[in-house]
Amino acid sequence: MVDCGCDEGLELAVLEELPGRLEMRACMKCGALGLSEAIVEEPEPHDVQFIGYEPIEISKAVAAWVGGWPRLTSLDRERVLVGRDVRVVDREGLQAMIGAQERGWNRTRLIELGVPDGPPPAELPAALSGFAEIWRGLSLNDATPIEELMGEAMRGGGPNRLAREVLSRRGDLAALSTQWRASREDKFRNWGRYLAKEFRLS
C-alpha cells in the first residue's frame, strides 16, 4: 500500500510479487512508492482475517533504485510490464493503458521499459533481495557457462525466467538432456529431466 493520498486502485506491484505478505507497490498517478506488510489474524484454524497494512521504512537510495524497475500487473492471466514513468489519472485510464501494453515478462521487455542505471545499494533490505537477483540475472547471456544457467533456471524466483530465456536459444538442449538423464549423478539427472519437461524434449 502506498501512503500518497491517491486512489488505492491506481497502485501496481513493482516488477515482482514479493514473498510472504510483503508488498512493494507504486502509485501510477503520482509515482510514489510504498513497501508494506499485510497484517492478518487467525482466531480460528483456517479463518485468516485481513487487518491492514504495516508500512516498512526504506531509505531514499533504496526507494530510488527499486523505483527504477517496471511495474507489474496481469491481464487475462498473462503478466504485463508497465514502464516506471507511465502515469494515469483514474482507474479507467489505468485499465486502458494496461490493455495497450505488450504481454510478457522477459529480458527484452525489461530493457525496453527501463531498469535501474546501476547495481543495488548496499542497504537494500533482505526482503527486496529478489530485485538484486534479477539485476544480476540481466547479465546472463549466450556466453554464460551452462552450469550457471542451469543453477539459475532451476532456482525458485529471482532470475530463473531470464536463465530459461537464454537456455531456450541453445541448439543442444535435446542432446544435453539425453546425456544428463543417463548420468550416474543426481544433479545431472535432475538437470536432464528439467530440460525435458521445461522445453518439451523427448
Reported as a single tens digit per residue, the pLDDT across 150-174 is 999 998 777 899 999 999 999 999 9
- pLDDT above 90: residue 18: no
| Percentage of the chain lying above the pLDDT 70 cut | 100
Crossing angle, helix 160-167 and helix 146-153, to 10 degrees? Answer: 130
Rounded Cα distance, 156 and 159, in Å: 9
pLDDT of residue 171: 95
Rounded Cα distance, 21 and 13, in Å: 13
Rounded Cα distance, 177 and 184, in Å: 14
Q: Which residues contact 96 (CB under 8 A, 6 or more apart)?
A: none
What cell does 77 get? 492471466
Residue in this structure with the C-alpha cell 522477459, named with its chain if needed = 106
Look up residue 172 and give its DSSP letter.
-
SS3 state of residue 106: coil
pLDDT tens across 90-112, in order?
A: 999 999 999 999 999 999 999 99
SS3 state of residue 30: coil
Q: Which residues contact 5 (CB under 8 A, 6 or more apart)?
A: none
List the end-to-end C-alpha distance of the chain, in Å, as a whole number: 46
- pLDDT above 80: residue 78: yes
Which H helix or E strand runs over 38?
Answer: strand 33-44
Question: Is residue 16 within 8 Å of residue 100, measured between CB atoms?
Answer: no
Question: Is residue 28 within 8 Å of residue 93, measured between CB atoms?
Answer: no
